[in-house]
Amino acid sequence: MRGHAAKEIGLAIVGGGRVGLFRGEVATRHPSVGWVGLAEKSPNRAGEVAAKIGADFVTQDHRELLARPEVTAAIIATDEHLHVAPILAAVEHRLPLLIEKPLATDLAQSAAVLQAIEKAGIDAVVGYTQRFRRKWLSAKEKVRTGALGDVTLVTSRAFMNRLVAIDNYKRTDDPSTISPMVISGTHALDIVMWCMEAKTPVECYARSIDKVLGPQYGGIDATAGMIMFSDGSVYHLNISWALPVTWPGAVYSLEVGINGTHGVLTIDDTHRDMVLAVSSPQEEGYAPDRSRLVDFMGSYPPGDMALGELRGPMADETVAWLNRVSLGLPTPAATAREAHRNLMLTKALDLSAKRKAAVALPLTAEEAEG
């Protein structure tokens, strides 16, 4: 690119799950990536993913990988509750980072990770992939340029079948750290807070329901709440991730309305515009339950496989981050500070629902324990 000398990237990928594989396959096609290493605890999975991404080095130990002299940047793609140790190890080596959300599932740990990142002065962004969907970029632009005037009220409604929730509850020993707000509602919240970034949240109130996931997993079905801002504007949000398995959204089905003093913008991200109905299960895409034969195509947040490649927001986000590292180009990615704020807000909403009382913002780590 004219005026820019691309830096070659030695890429470390920590975590070989779905996201690690997706990002790895995209990265191996990027012209600036000259070396790829993978750290994955499961030897069988490590071998499978390493072959698909053409890894030059494979280990079960993330510290061994991040200490390699070839490594100049890292993607942290472990399970949500296992982010802290590899992030801190990467910070020790001052590596540019792309971290899957959240920084941590515990607010105190998230604050410590944020402090370490900022103290080291490294460039760390967090995988709020929906920022790379064109419709949300367009919404951000209309808010940013003042087309709606002063934003006064935003609403968001997220519907998900219970497969993602069950998967998360099965993978944790502490269901209290898993909630629809912290794990999934945070995506809609990030989009809205991105559009309202000039505003200061001061209070929240929420209620939760646990009639489906509660008895079996100790989990939460749905949460509805409000966030109030210092200028009087309001964000009303709700998420349910306990819909029946037959609900045809592969994952996310979202609607957002943004009201301003001079206009309104409504965004349909329910993906009901492409409906797939088949007689036998499909092997590609997110298909954790083979009994499901109807899907809203495009509702899997990373995107869709087409012609042998992942197409969609996660591919776009990964390429943008690699360009950011190699060419210094700006991206709309969420910063580590924004990711910590998102966790704080989702934790505050969960706390409010637990107390059945309003919670003042910002929420401190000490208060979150209550």
> What per-residue confidence (pLDDT) applies to 2?
54
Q: Which region among 41-45, 175-179, 349-353 has the lowest average model confidence (pLDDT)?
A: 175-179
> Of residues 250 and 194, which shows the higher confidence score?
194
Confidence of residue 156 (pLDDT cuts 50, 70, 90): very high
Q: What are phi and psi of 200, to 5 degrees?
A: -110, 115
Domain locations in the chain as residue ranges: 9-122, 133-298+343-353
Q: What is the CB neighbour count within 10 angstroms for residue 331?
A: 17
Dihedral sign computed on CA atoms, order 44, 46, 50, 52? positive
On the question of pLDDT at 152 being above 80, the answer is yes
Q: Which amino acid is it at 133?
A: R
- The residues, ordered by sequence, that sit 6+ positions from 217 with a Cβ below 8 Å of its Cβ are 165, 166, 169, 170, 175
**Residues paired with residue 253 on neighbouring β-strands, in sequence order:** 159
The answer to whether residues 28 and 12 touch, using CB atoms and an 8 Å cutoff, is: no
Q: What is the CB neighbour count within 10 angstroms for residue 332?
A: 14
Report helix, strand or coil for 125. Answer: strand
**Residues paired with residue 277 on neighbouring β-strands, in sequence order:** 294
CA nearest neighbour of 296 among 268, 269, 271: 271
Q: Where do the H-state alpha helices sit in 93-230?
A: 107-120, 134-144, 163-170, 180, 186-195, 213-217
Q: What is the CATH number of domain 9-122?
A: 3.40.50.720
Residue with tokens 């009201």: 259
Q: What is the CB neighbour count within 10 angstroms for residue 361?
A: 18
- pLDDT tens track for 195-254: 999 899 999 999 999 999 999 999 999 999 999 999 999 999 999 999 999 999 988 899
Q: C-alpha distances in angstroms, 119 versus 66, 113, 115, 127, 330? A: 19, 10, 6, 21, 21
Residue 251 CB-half CA count within 13 A: 21
| Average pLDDT value for residue range 296-318 | 91
Rounded to the nearest integer, the mean pLDDT of the chain is: 94
**Dihedral over alpha carbons 322, 254, 81, 302 (to 10 degrees):** -30
- pLDDT tens track for 73-132: 999 999 888 899 999 999 999 999 999 999 998 999 999 999 999 999 999 999 999 999
Domain 133-298+343-353 coded CATH 3.30.360.10:
yes
The answer to whether residues 337 and 114 touch, using CB atoms and an 8 Å cutoff, is: yes
Confidence of residue 1 (pLDDT cuts 50, 70, 90): very low
User: Cα–Cα distance between 230 and 360 in angstroms, integer?
Assistant: 11
| Average pLDDT value for residue range 16-27 | 96
| Average pLDDT value for residue range 134-156 | 97
Q: How does strand 57-59 pair with strand 33-39?
A: parallel
Q: Is the pTM of this model over 0.85?
A: yes
**Residues paired with residue 259 on neighbouring β-strands, in sequence order:** 153, 264
> Of residues 232 and 173, which shows the higher confidence score?
232
